[in-house]
Amino acid sequence: MKITALLVLKCHPEGSDPVILANASDVSHFGYFQRPSVREFICFVGRTVAKRTPPDQRQSVQHEEYNVHCYNRNGLCALGLMDEHYPVRSAFSLLNQVVDEYQKNFGETWRTAQADNTQPWPYLTEALTKFQDPAEADKLLKIQRELDETKIILHKTIDSVLARGEKLDSLVEKSSDLSAASQMFYKQAKKTNQCCTIL
């Protein structure tokens, strides 16, 4: 799962090309001489998808092994170029946070922008790094991951839980909770299962 680029754009209602307000990309996994072309292509795809995303709508577009997720909030668009394995819910959660943060930092100044901004926005660069793990963007995914880790711990076998080298066989023999029939059943089941063990 990888985020390749995050963009913030101003979308014009009259249909002219969107203006890039902020842009952060990680093209390190591309060849050195391909990187400038990849950055240009990211801007091209970003403008194209943002232009075609209606106000107050979310949209996902697949291009080869990438998904382009776009969220247009009243003309202010956040767009992410991610690989196809990045969860959609986490992607839109991240884009929502980016729009919130942009409005918190810059207010309504974006409405007067006429040309692309070439100055980096540190928050967007940090978000590009921080949210490579989808669980950072989506708290539900983070909780699910923690539950999965807990489940792994609970799946330990009874043998690993027994302390100081105690064997289950000796505990069965010493147990006052098991009747003689239950102890006999355990021993027979163990003997029967031994013939089928493949080493």
* Phi-psi group of 7: left, alpha or beta (phi > 0 → left; psi -120 to 50 → alpha; rest → beta): beta
Domain-embedded: residue 107: yes
Report pLDDT digits (tens) over 64-108.
788 899 999 988 999 999 988 888 888 888 898 899 999 999 888
Domain-embedded: residue 133: yes
Rounded mean pLDDT of the chain? 79
Report pLDDT digits (tens) over 166-182.
555 665 566 655 566 66
| Torsion of the alpha carbons at 131, 132, 133 and 136, rounded to the nearest 10 | 0
Kindly report the CATH number assigned to the domain that includes residue 102.
3.30.450.50
Provide the pLDDT for residue 179. Answer: 66
Name the percent of the chain lying above pLDDT 70. 69
Provide the pLDDT for residue 170. Answer: 62
Instruction: Tell me the pLDDT band of 199, cut-offs 50, 70 and 90.
Output: very low
Domain-embedded: residue 53: yes
Report pLDDT digits (tens) over 34-75.
888 888 888 888 888 888 888 888 888 887 788 899 999 988
Domain-embedded: residue 197: no
Measuring CA to CA, how many Å separate 178 from each of 8, 162, 182? 68, 18, 6
Domain-embedded: residue 126: yes
* Phi-psi group of 60: left, alpha or beta (phi > 0 → left; psi -120 to 50 → alpha; rest → beta): beta
Provide the pLDDT for residue 178. Answer: 57
- Containing structural domain, residue 89: 3-162
Domain-embedded: residue 183: no
Domain-embedded: residue 55: yes
Domain-embedded: residue 174: no
Q: Is it the case that residue 195 has pLDDT exceeding 90?
A: no
Number of domains in the chain: 1
Q: Is it the case that residue 146 has pLDDT exceeding 90?
A: no
Total-model pTM: 0.67
